[in-house]
Chains A and B, each alone.
Chain A
Amino acid sequence: MLVLGIESSCDETGVALYDSEHGLVAHHLHTQMAMHAEYGGVVPELASRDHIRRVIPLTEACLAEVGLRLADIDAIAYTQGPGLGGALLVGTSVANALAFGLGIPVIAVHHLEGHLLSPLLATPRPDFPFLALLVSGGHTQLMAVHGVGQYQVLGETLDDAAGEAFDKTAKLLGLDYPGGPTLSRLAESGDPARFTLPRPMLNSADLDMSFSGLKTAVLTLVRQQEAQQHGTLDEQTRKDICRAFQEAIVEVLVKKSLKALKQTGMKRLVVAGGVGANRQLRAALDQAAARRKFEVFYPPLALCTDNGAMIAFAGAMRLKFAEPAAGFSVKPRWDLASLPAV
């Protein structure tokens, strides 16, 4: 079965083809960040209009790349939610209209399920059950995954997502938005011993996290250093602050993941979402895994951010829920725990 996957929940348009026998066939992504890069990395626009412009050319590009035609597609999976209503509506309408025209079924996919299952697109692929650490700009959650559609949230951020903390701290340090990846790069040559920032909720009994207070801590540190250095931060101080910040985030994420593994007795940890690409986080988790004897899995780097491949794949996992394209709706808010098990 050849499944076309369409993702348009936020500011990236992703389209992919997944074959249930041959795996991922093609995937194309349009990120509005890249579009703006030449103008100095402006905030990505969230306009649904941009998804409208991109989705059909991306679909054509996927098909052309592997010499297939629309008529070869057996089913269409699309992100029905959660996300921005207008953005979701684009992928949802295109998926349903195409499927109606082709007389093939559609599969509504939950965006986070796409992320959760994306490590299954890599080799080696983890077996169920596993613990999932989902860390991105919009989400930070620890989840027990017993099978496709069997998800239990064990803990999550009470305020800012980890990726959001990265981007906002980068802004406080004068880096261009979204500056998370730049911050990580600077942190690599920063001194981890020079500054220490608080680790909110590090030792709380539960698996919840909080990252909003880190902004204030960084702000205070920046002002203090600026005062000492007569108004401007020198390059090394900026790097050292980046490092201190990254140390704090990584320690919280690692410690909470270890606690969750212990509580659930699970031996496999799957890391998904954009922050899952962070090198220091990966190094710390790999180290902990070697010490504590558990396995850790990451999706391929290209699939860490929002993409169509994970939607096509999740759709292929949910083929039994495929239905004829008829009336459609989007679910800007959608509880992951409400999904039916496969």
Chain B
Amino acid sequence: MDSYDTSQSHLPDEAATLALAGRFARALSPGLVIHLHGDLGAGKTTFTRGLLAGLGWHGKVKSPTYTLVESYPLAPFTLHHFDLYRFADPEEWEEAGFREYFGQETVCLVEWPDKAQGLLPPADLILALEVAEQGRHYRFTALTEAGKTCLTRHSTQTAADC
């Protein structure tokens, strides 16, 4: 089986972002750290909402901008959704005590990871969302073996679905 380092395509609308996230949810495994890149309104929280729906979460998915983190206890693992948008100084990451949220039992999604550059646990995977003329472009990049395994699982599942 080939291993995938990147995967990219176009998302015409919000429904497509949710559908991609729903499929990607099946490839997740505990311990993964995923950084979400993209400007305001690119769809980072929308992607997270689709991911959670794919994992069977039926409750609300609120933007974590003001709370900095929203946590979702799921059957296979707890998913922590961070948003560091309001950080002025990377040191705030340490002061907030967020390091303990990361571990082999959790999946962590981090929006605006640059705001805690140098202090964040390294990403296994990066998802970059970019506003296009119509809809969005997305690109997954795997940075570790765990990330590659996840992306490979996602890509082969997606191929099998077609």
Residues of chain B in range 38-74 having any CB-CB distance to chain A below 8 Å: 40-41, 43, 45-46, 49, 60-63, 65-68
How many positions in chain A have a CB within 8 Å of any CB in the partner chain?
Answer: 32
Given contacts A46-B87, A168-B40, contact A85 B92 (CB under 8 A): no
A172 engages B41 (CB within 8 Å): yes
How many positions in chain B have a CB within 8 Å of any CB in the partner chain?
Answer: 26
In the assembled complex, how far is the CB of residue B85 from the closest CB belonging to chain A, in whole angstroms? Answer: 8
Residues of chain B in range 1-39 having any CB-CB distance to chain A below 8 Å: 14
In the assembled complex, how far is the CB of residue B57 from the closest CB belonging to chain A, in whole angstroms? Answer: 13
B95 engages A86 (CB within 8 Å): yes
Chain B residues near A212 (CB-CB < 8 A): 45-46, 63
CA distance A164 to B83 in the complex (A): 13
Given contacts A42-B88, A43-B87, A172-B40, contact A159 B96 (CB under 8 A): no
Residues of chain A in range 197-229 having any CB-CB distance to chain B below 8 Å: 212-213, 215-216, 218-219, 223
Nearest A-chain residue to B65, judged by Cβ? A164
In the assembled complex, how far is the CB of residue A101 from the closest CB belonging to chain B, in whole angstroms? Answer: 27
- Pick from A46, A156, A215: contact of B96, CB below 8 A: A46
CA distance A43 to B65 in the complex (A): 12
Main secondary structure of the interface of B (DSSP, over half): loop
B45 engages A159 (CB within 8 Å): yes
Nearest B-chain residue to A137, judged by Cβ? B66
CA distance A180 to B131 in the complex (A): 23
In the assembled complex, how far is the CB of residue B131 from the closest CB belonging to chain A, in whole angstroms? Answer: 6
Nearest A-chain residue to B61, judged by Cβ? A159
B95 engages A49 (CB within 8 Å): yes
Q: Flag B86-100 by CB within 8 Å of A: 1 or 0 each.
A: 111101100111000
Q: Does A135 contact B (CB under 8 A)?
A: no
B66 engages A164 (CB within 8 Å): yes
Chain A residues near B14 (CB-CB < 8 A): 213, 216
A161 engages B88 (CB within 8 Å): no
In the assembled complex, how far is the CB of residue B90 from the closest CB belonging to chain A, in whole angstroms? Answer: 11
Q: Flag A34-50 by CB within 8 Å of B: 1 or 0 each.
A: 00100000111111110
Chain B residues near A84 (CB-CB < 8 A): 67-68, 96
Q: Flag A78-121 by CB within 8 Å of B: 1 or 0 each.
A: 00000011100000000000000000000000000000000000
Q: Does A20 contact B (CB under 8 A)?
A: no
* A to B CB contacts below 8 Å, 21 in the list: A10-B66, A36-B88, A43-B86, A45-B88, A45-B89, A46-B86, A46-B95, A47-B92, A47-B95, A84-B96, A85-B97, A86-B97, A159-B49, A160-B63, A161-B63, A164-B63, A164-B66, A212-B45, A212-B63, A215-B41, A216-B41
